Amino acid sequence: MDQDLLARIQLIAHLEGHDDRAWHVAWNPVRPILASCSADKTVRLYNYRPTQNAESPSDISLEFSLNTTIPTGHAKTVRAVAWSPSGKTLATASFDSNIGIWAQEEEGDEDSNLQGEWECMSLLEGHETECKSIAYSSSGTLLASCSRDKTVWVWEVHPDSDFECMGVMMEHTQDVKCVAWHPTEEILASASYDDTIKLYVDDPSEDWFCFTTLTGHTSTVWSLAFSPDGRFLASGSDDQTIRIWERVQEHRWECISVLEGHDRSVYSVSWGRGKGEGHLGWLASTGGDGLILVWEMSLEATESGKDKMSRKLIARLPAGHGVHDINSIVWCPRQGLEDVFATAGDDGVARVWKVVPSNS
């Protein structure tokens, strides 16, 4: 059945090294660096460069090499990592309830590859219990975090690795699993064990507040991903489905579609631009079943004049990390690499994949 699909998922790198389960991966948006984090409390940074296949020069692949391992100093698991849009700062979210802010000591000139060690520039305390997810806003001026303490925090990024707390939202009734920022506006989304998704904006004269709660999932919502155009939001849940929410009014989002295909929890979703034209990008999902699905999302004109979302499964790969759960899936945000994504699994491995047309 897989051969009916338009594309297949090809493994291009297998990155071992963590001593415990790998939780999350993050692509540096500017530089060729991939970060992975793990229950072994470390972050591994890999450099990569394009390579050409001697037999077919058009077949560009990537070659990965370990750059460094950051022994974060976090007392517990590093659950998530996030790069700032400038690519200069890395944030780590840990089960020790803290957030680490990492940057390289600048030695020598900007472009030099001989940059210094990754150092902890700041430690953000505030969460009472395990920090589960972190995300930088698109402008890089805000950082959001969430925790098992049921709160979502927004921090303002100040010069010199300084941060100011802008808001503490105590809206969820349970563990908050994931935070995600809208790609262009300052809208924050959070997903929780209470089965809901909440969206927040800043009231300029007051504080951050939750302006809507999206309900529909029947179990924990694990992961969130906005579409690259910001009009849609995808959510992955323990109810084995992915829901697509559309922004129908400024402050109103509605569920327009439920995607099925997984037979365990959907732990991670990622919405990349994808290759080709005329669509809304590629949505990748994975989870407890180890299955990787890639959908092409697009808009179809309808008779009523209002366009309607449609999706097409374009690639499918079972057992991406063997028998192990896959904890995260993340598209590469860099130009020319829209068909590349990375995954992290319970086997402690990070893998990098490329979506290639079936006929090639």
Partner 1 sequence: MAFSGALTLTDLNDFITPSQACIKPVEQSNPAPVHDPGAASTQIQVDSSGSYYEVSPIGRTEANAKKKLQTAEISLNDCLACSGCITSAESVLITLQSHTEVLNFLSSNPAPSSPTHKIPVLSIAPQSLASLAASLSSSSARPVSLTQVLRRVRAFATRVLGFEHVFDTTFARHVALREHAREFAERRAGKDGAGKLPMLASACPGWVCYAEKTHAEMLPFISAAKSPQQVMGTLVKEWMGAKWGKAPDQVYHVTVMPCYDKKLEASRQDFYNDVYATRDVDCVITTGELDLLMREKDWDLSEPVAGELDPPASSPSDVTALPELLVHPGSSSGSYLHSLIASFIASSPVPLIHTVRTVRNADYEEHTVVDEAGTPVFRGARCYGFRNLQNVVRKVGRDAGVQVGRGAAGRVAALRRARKADAGGEERGYNYVEVMACPGGCVNGGGQLRPTAGAEKSVDAEGFARDWAESGVRVEEDGLQIQAPSAKWGDKEWTKKVEETYWRALPTPPPTPTPEEREIERAEEEKRRWADRLAVEVLYEMCRPGESPPHDGTWDVQMDERAETTRRKLFRTQYRAVESEVVGLAVKW
Hey, which residues between 55 and 74 contact partner 1 (CB under 8 A)? Answer: 72-74
Sheet holding 118-124, edge to edge: 78-83, 89-94, 99-104, 118-124
Provide the minimum distance between the beta carbon of 184 and partner 1 in the complex, in angstroms, as a whole number: 20
Q: Is 209 an interacting residue with respect to partner 1 (CB under 8 A)?
A: yes
DSSP symbols for 149-176: TS-EEEEEEETTTEEEEEEEE---SS-E
Q: Is 306 an interacting residue with respect to partner 1 (CB under 8 A)?
A: no
| Closest CB to partner 1 among residues 294, 344 | 344
Q: Is 205 an interacting residue with respect to partner 1 (CB under 8 A)?
A: yes
> Coil, strand, or helix at residue 265?
coil
Tokens representing 337 are 């690499």
Q: Which residues contact 6 (CB under 8 A, 6 or more apart)?
A: 296, 312, 314, 315, 357, 358
Separation of alpha carbons 309 and 302, rounded Å: 10
Count of alpha carbons within 13 Å of 170, Cβ hemisphere only?
A: 3
Provide the minimum distance between the beta carbon of 356 and partner 1 in the complex, in angstroms, as a whole number: 33
**Contact mark string toward partner 1, 238..277, x via CB under 8 A:** ----------xxxxx-------------------------
Provide the minimum distance between the beta carbon of 176 and partner 1 in the complex, in angstroms, as a whole number: 12
Question: Which one of 22, 33, 38, 96 is in contact with partner 1 (CB under 8 A)?
Answer: 96
| Closest CB to partner 1 among residues 20, 260 | 20
Provide the minimum distance between the beta carbon of 132 and partner 1 in the complex, in angstroms, as a whole number: 8
Provide the minimum distance between the beta carbon of 143 and partner 1 in the complex, in angstroms, as a whole number: 14
Tokens representing 47 are 């450099």
| Closest CB to partner 1 among residues 170, 256 | 170
Q: Is 300 an interacting residue with respect to partner 1 (CB under 8 A)?
A: no
Q: Classify 356 in phi/psi space as left (phi over 0), alpha (psi -120 to 50) or beta.
A: beta
Q: Is 110 an interacting residue with respect to partner 1 (CB under 8 A)?
A: no
Q: Is 164 an interacting residue with respect to partner 1 (CB under 8 A)?
A: yes
Hey, which residues between 124 and 143 contact partner 1 (CB under 8 A)? Answer: 125-126, 128-130, 132
Q: Which residues contact 337 (CB under 8 A, 6 or more apart)?
A: 62
User: Which range, of 108-116, 147-155, 274-282, 293-301, touches partner 1 by CB under 8 A?
Assistant: 147-155
How far apart, in Å, are the Cα atoms of 316 and each of 22, 80, 146, 263, 352?
22, 25, 31, 14, 15
Residue with tokens 């009734």: 173
Q: Is 207 an interacting residue with respect to partner 1 (CB under 8 A)?
A: yes
Q: Between the CA atoms of 150, 260, 272 and 324, what dihedral angle is there, to the nearest 10 degrees?
A: 70
Q: Are 233 and 217 in contact (CB under 8 A)?
A: no
User: Which range, of 57-65, 81-89, 113-121, 289-297, touches partner 1 by CB under 8 A?
Assistant: 113-121
Length of the chain: 360
Eight-state DSSP code of residue 288:
T
| Closest CB to partner 1 among residues 233, 317 | 233
Q: Are 66 and 17 in contact (CB under 8 A)?
A: yes
Provide the minimum distance between the beta carbon of 160 and partner 1 in the complex, in angstroms, as a whole number: 8
| Closest CB to partner 1 among residues 146, 355 | 146
Tokens representing 70 are 């950051």
Q: Are 87 and 31 in contact (CB under 8 A)?
A: yes
Q: Is 194 an interacting residue with respect to partner 1 (CB under 8 A)?
A: no
Q: Is 211 an interacting residue with respect to partner 1 (CB under 8 A)?
A: yes
Contact set with partner 1 (CB under 8 A)? 72-75, 95-96, 98, 100-101, 119-123, 125-126, 128-130, 132, 148-151, 160, 162-168, 170, 173, 177, 203, 205-207, 209-213, 248-252
